[in-house]
Amino acid sequence: MLKKYLAAGVVAATLVGAAGTAYAGKDLDTVKARGSLICGVSTGVAGFAAADTQGKWTGLDVDTCRAIAAAIFGDADKVKFVPTTAQQRFTALQSGEVDLLVRTTTWTLTRDTALGFDFTGVNYYDGQGFMVNKKLGVKSAKELNGATVCVQPGTTTELNLADYFRANKMTFKPVVIEKVEEVRAAFFAGRCDVFTTDASGLYSTRAANAPNPDDYIILPEIISKEPLGPLVRHGDNQFADIVRWALFAQIEAEEYGITSKNVDEMLKSDNPSIKRILGVTPGMGKALGVDEKWVYNIIKQVGNYGEMFERNVGMGSPLKIARGQNALWTQGGLQYAPPIR
């Protein structure tokens, strides 16, 4: 009997050892051989992914991509951004044109299964809303019966819109336009009464594109759950793990008070959790198949989740969006990371 238990223990130890070793898959091998990450983003949503006149990309989704590059290469700048429309994005990922999507894309069951993708986390908890010109005289979405509504095709927004109006026994006339910049232009030109998309996109559009932002209001109703985050193709678990844990690392760093400004000082911390997170106590990098300084590189070059949020979409940005559901779980929000240990 004792021999039986000893044998079982040896097998278990072997399995644990194997599980603790990271094996590179084809997607990660391709990324490493290329020397850079190719990240699919939106065609231009202020606060999330937008390029300036010099071609420099900024935004929450952009910084999420940069954090992944920092984890893999130790350099957040080793990433190329490829703009994709709502209809093009999934084909771009399936075909291998991009390594991953971080493109204000909602995590749904069918996208996670039938399309052959893995969502790795949520970098922004959102919900669909409505924006109108104040001249319309509307203060609630339930007053929109008979309205013309600008919407993008191939989105959860389009489906939610139909569901909401049907559930509330209202009718609407859709104005369907593929490119988000053309949707905005149509709305501000008066081709439709209402612009609907994720609330974050409405705040972004009003701040960055409205002729006079004060002329437009975002109605109070939020009609859906829109967990937005990175997604990768099925088939390379290690690459998916790195994408997943890069975001978790930013959330965990905020929880422990580790910032881009104090991360060097935090290397001297006696806190065992901080020592593990920053690689002072080795092991976490090896388990993930990256350098032991992977979290240090992310935080030093990109910042923790709170820093990333505030500069791109928070109160320190033109959008001035409150943390709300995107606050840490310790502050009443939904952002929560499993322990790095």
Segments in the chain below pLDDT 70: 1-24
pLDDT at 25: 76
State the pTM of this model.
Answer: 0.88
DSSP 136-180: G---SGGG-TTEEEEE-SSSHHHHHHHHHHHHTT--EEEEE-SSH
pLDDT at 24: 56
On whether the 127-225 domain is CATH 3.40.190.10, my answer is yes
pLDDT at 9: 46
Contacts of 295 (CB under 8 A, 6+ apart): 71, 249, 252, 253, 277, 278, 279, 284, 340
Check: CB of residue 187 under 8 Å from CB of residue 199.
no
Q: Residue 228: which H helix or E strand, with range?
A: strand 226-228
Determine the angle formed by the axes of helices 60-73 and 26-34, rounding to 10 degrees.
90
pLDDT at 163: 98
Domain map (residue ranges) of the chain:
127-225
* Single-letter amino acid code for the residue at 156: T
- Would you give the end-to-end CA distance of the chain in angstroms? 34
* Single-letter amino acid code for the residue at 11: V
